[in-house]
Structure 1
């Protein structure tokens, strides 16, 4: 991943569960984010994805949380865009669920 100061958005992304990320990705096909395969490594669950045709992995580690790990070339701005897409979709879903309560 890119070496940079952790922003509040990054902290929020790190706190996501695999279920939240999967649910968000399913709703982002129209935005170019596709889940291709789910895998596992010793320290994390891995979601193998494509964003606008380029490969990325989203790793969810119990100790360190979720992070985007590009396989193909991505700028730090593009990585931030992907995390923002996922977070925005979850926030929208949360807001819709709140309205259903009332």
Structure 2
């Protein structure tokens, strides 16, 4: 049976991170000013949610091998937060 993938694209096995700790050490993490700027922009979204979103975007980009810059992280996190801010709860809260 022929192989579906004949060549490897992306990082080699030697350069690939082995776990979450190595990913964090390679990409130190988002600077606080990205979360701070987005928190001021999305006042209806809790600051903890904004922080978590920025951290998740940073980790996902590093995991995928994307060149992680603050500009890239901020743009992707802003798109995610626009969806969060614009969404309505599925069920109205009681009270």
TM-score by length of 2: 0.37
* Larger radius of gyration between Structure 1 and Structure 2: 2
Q: Which has the higher contact order (CA 8 A, sep 6+)?
A: 2
Higher fraction of helix: 2
Taking structure 1 as the reference length, the TM-score comes to 0.35
